[in-house]
Homo-oligomer: A and B are copies of this chain.
Amino acid sequence: MGELHEACGVFGIVGQPAPQQMTDASSSLAIDTYHALYALQHRGQTSAGIASSGSEGIRYKKGDGLVQEVFDFDSLKKLTGHMAIGHVRYAAQRGMSGVNAQPLAVETLGMQIALAFNGNLTNAEQLRIAIENQGGILQTTGDAEIILYAIVRKLLETRSPEQKTLLENAVLEVMPLLKGAYSLLILARDKIIAARDPHGFRPLCIGRRAASPVGAHGAQDGGFGEIVFASESCALDVVNATFERDVKPGEVIVASPGNLKSLSVQAAKRCSLCAFEFVYFARPDSVIDGQSVEVSRTLAGQCLARSSPVEADVVIGVPDSGISSAVGYAQQSGIPYAMGFVKNRYIGRTFIQETQWLREQSLRIKLNVIASAVRGKRVIMVDDSIVRGTTINRVVSLVREAGATQVHMRVTSPPYMHPCYFGTDIPNRDQLPASRYTVKELADKIGVDSLAFLSIDDLPAVTPDLKITRCDACFTGNYPVPVALEKTGGDFL
């Protein structure tokens, strides 16, 4: 119910250039990108943008809002070319001018570059100060501009009279300077460079599709096809591409028409893919670093049924990410699963604030209990996490008002006790009740008859197919890279 937010999603596609005699006027890859961003919309709803590259150079459009609010067909038609990248972004507040929307597109040193990334630099502040002290003027508050500055500076440092440094080499050399999480795509005139930080905090995968018949001018490509990059594999399906492999932690890849090359892989000793991708962020039909999200959620439900059983009449899941786990819990326990909630899928603007209504009303508009499923029953309610905990006790109240005689809550992640510095958004970082209360106290505050979390020890079991290790810092406080200390404070509920 909106307590935690992924910060971004990226997408890129490399097609075939138009034959020489034709103008490069197709915008079909921009339209593909538009549809792919739809599939990644759950990773960021604050701003959206697309940059394309073709014979006319790089063109872009971006703005605040959902993908469908930012783009119309006329604007997509202008984004011509045989390569494109796109971005969706979440931010705590909608800014006045969309200044932080990505891709960030610039022209400097005779090059046009557009950059889109998902993640968060932990040394952004030091890099920012260094840039300013060298006379650079940062015009956004985002890390994308900092990364761009670092790359450009590296290009200047390493260029010699004889030879221009290749952009991808500059990216390679810059990566040791960037601390934290980043899965990034850089669009140049003639290629897309993809890079994933050495810890692999954020997902990034590669797909491929046969050159589209209506796409890039029917160009002959010897069967090479078109290369696609995406934060999640669910965006590949939408453009009819098939999954090829994940970008490896620390890997830099260059894709150009008819060409795909891995430059280097400099992974950290221990990788740190965000565990919350499986718990909450990713779409269930995505497969990340080998692990199906849906399978992981179902396993988490089954695991909880084994570790924290309780007598009950029905299992329900809090939409959307609690559903599969509830099904898994039901399967394992033999207690029937039922659809316990309806989530209104038309929700947009509500006017709760303006009318000073009870805050509870706000929840009723988004989420309704199906009374027939819970009335007179002992209910097991499965949800993905308790972060701030501001909503969950109201959900419990709704279930009780609908007639549940008992409510047992099962949470498919361990207690969330430490802030994240790697690209998720926690609106108020000092409000993490799990760090201040016992499970019993939490159960009382939430108003449930029993409460149980997934054990940290069970994390491997619920991601059996995952090929790399996880970041579990939010549960354990063991941060894979040094982070600034956070002042704590604030009240629970």
- Report whether A285 and B370 are in contact in the complex, using a CB–CB cutoff of 8 Å: yes
Partner of A238, one of B96, B368, B373: B368
Q: Interface of A with B (CB < 8 Å)?
A: 28, 31, 34-35, 38-39, 41-42, 45, 59-63, 66-68, 72-73, 75-76, 78, 96-97, 106-109, 132-139, 145, 148-149, 152-153, 156, 214, 234, 237-238, 240, 283-285, 287, 292, 294-295, 298, 320, 323-324, 327, 331, 336-339, 342, 344-351, 354-357, 361, 364-365, 368-373
A9 to B124, CA, bound (A): 37
Beyond A137-B148, A137-B152, A324-B339, 4 additional pairs, beta carbon < 8 A: A38-B346, A39-B365, A42-B346, A134-B134
When C-beta atoms are compared, the residue in chain B nearest to A88 turns out to be B346
Residues of chain B within 8 A (CB-CB) of A96 are 59-61, 75, 78
Main secondary structure of the interface of A (DSSP, over half): mixed
When C-beta atoms are compared, the residue in chain B nearest to A345 turns out to be B345
A45 to B346, CA, bound (A): 10
Partner of A347, one of B38, B138, B294, B356: B38
Q: Could you name 17 residue pairs across A and B whose Cβ atoms are closer than 8 Å?
A: A35-B365, A38-B350, A59-B96, A68-B346, A73-B354, A106-B138, A108-B137, A109-B133, A135-B136, A136-B136, A137-B148, A214-B357, A238-B368, A285-B370, A292-B370, A294-B370, A294-B372
Residues of chain B within 8 A (CB-CB) of A45 are 346
Residues of chain B within 8 A (CB-CB) of A331 are 336-337
- Report whether A351 and B135 are in contact in the complex, using a CB–CB cutoff of 8 Å: no
- Report whether B97 and A365 are in contact in the complex, using a CB–CB cutoff of 8 Å: no
Residues of chain B within 8 A (CB-CB) of A348 are 66, 68
